[in-house]
């Protein structure tokens, strides 16, 4: 028996939805809300939502604005930069469903704010 408790969710995906009013780069300017909504509906449609499965969460600033729009999948701590709903579909189908990282969408490790 493992000493590590089983996580309530297998994976969390967090979408930065932060909006900056001062003109600085932010994820909200790239339809992050639309990407979040699309991801949530796809996860639900695929039967991936719920305890022991996937949780789709909204997040404030994740402090990686230069790579935005940004989302991150835990527990793997895989950071993605996406462009459109096709990218979100690929993250859902590959990573959230099958545990395979989508290499082409990875945010470079040195990209911050």
Mean per-residue pLDDT, 23-37: 92
Residue 63 main-chain phi, psi, to 5 deg = 65, 35
85-94 burial: b if 16+ Cβ within 10 Å, else e: eebbebbbee
Cα Rg, the chain, nearest whole Å: 14
pLDDT digits (tens, 9 = 90+) for 53-88: 999 999 999 999 888 899 999 999 999 999 999 999
113 vs 50, higher pLDDT: 50
Give 59 or 5, the one with higher predicted confidence: 59
Q: What is the DSSP string of 39-103?
A: HHHHHHHTT-BSTTSEEEEEES--S-GGG-SEEEEETTTEEEE--SHHHHHHIIIIIIHH----G
Q: Nearest CA to 68 among 17, 13, 103, 109?
A: 17
Q: Which domains does the chain have, with CATH numbers?
A: 11-105 (3.40.30.10)
Q: Looking at the predicted structure, is the pLDDT value of residue 1 above 50? A: no
Q: How confident is the model at residue 30 (pLDDT cuts 50, 70, 90)?
A: very high
pTM over cut 0.85 = yes
């Amino acid at each position: 028996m493992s000493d590590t408790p089983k996580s309530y969710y297998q994976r969390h995906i967090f979408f930065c939805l932060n909006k900056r009013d001062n003109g600085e780069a932010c994820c909200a300017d790239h339809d992050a809300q639309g990407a979040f909504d699309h991801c949530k509906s796809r996860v639900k449609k695929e039967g991936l939502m719920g305890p022991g499965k996937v949780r789709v969460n909204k997040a404030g600033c994740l402090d990686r604005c230069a790579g935005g729009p940004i989302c991150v999948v835990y527990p793997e701590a895989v950071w993605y930069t996406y462009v459109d709903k096709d990218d979100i579909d690929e993250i859902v189908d590959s990573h959230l469903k099958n545990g395979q990282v989508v290499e082409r969408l990875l945010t470079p490790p040195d990209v911050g704010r």
